[in-house]
Amino acid sequence: MVIKIENLDYAIRGKPLFEGFSLSVEAQSHHLLVGPSGSGKTTLINLVCGLLSPDHGEIRVAGENIAAASESGRDKIRRENIGMVFQTLRLVSALDLSANLLLAQRLARGSTDGSLIHSLLERLGIGHRARAKPHEMSQGEAQRAAIARALVTRPRLLIADEPTSSLDKSNARQVADLLLECAADYGVTLLIATHDDRLDPLFSNRIALTGPVAKVA
Partner 1 sequence: MFGLALAYLRDRSLTTALNVLLLGISVAMLVLLVQFANQFSNRLDRDAENVDLVVGAKGSPLQLILSSIFHIDQPTGNIPLESLAMVRSDPAVKEAIPLALGDNFDGFRIVGTEAGYARLYGGEIARGKMFEKPMDAVMGASVARTTGAQLGQKFIGSHGLETAEGDGQGHDHAPFTTVGILAPTGSVIDRLILTSIESIWDVHGIEHDHAETDHADHEAADHEAEEYSHGSGHELDEQQHALSAQGHLEPEITAILLRYRNAAGAMRIPAMINRQTEMQAASPAAETARLLSLFGAGIEGARIFAWILAVTGGLAIFIALLNMARAREGDLALLRVMGASKLQVFGTILLEGLMTAASGAILGIIGAHLALLLAGRNFQTLSDLGISATRFDPAELAIFATVLLIGAIAALIPAARIFRINLALTLARSS
List contacts with partner 1 (CB under 8 A): 42-43, 46, 49, 51-52, 71-72, 75, 78-79, 84, 86-89, 91-95, 99, 103-104, 107-108, 149, 153, 161-162
State the number of CA atoms in the 13 A half-sphere of 198 facing the CB: 17
CB of residue 91 vs partner 1: minimum separation in angstroms?
Answer: 8
Nearest approach in angstroms of CB 131 to partner 1 is: 13
Distance of closest approach, residue 67 Cβ to partner 1, in angstroms = 14
Nearer to partner 1, 14 or 110 (CB): 110
List the alpha helices (DSSP H) in 35-113: 41-48, 71-81, 97-109
Length of the chain: 217
Buried b (16+ CB within 10 A) or exposed e, 142-151: bbbbbbbbbb
Cβ-based nearer residue to partner 1, 72 or 184: 72
Residue 105 Cα distances to 33, 36, 72, 112, 209, angstroms: 27, 35, 18, 5, 33
Which CB, 161 or 204, lies closer to partner 1? 161
Nearest distance, CB of residue 40 and partner 1, angstroms:
12
- Pick 91 or 191: Cβ nearer partner 1: 91
Cα separation, 214 vs 198, in Å, equals 24
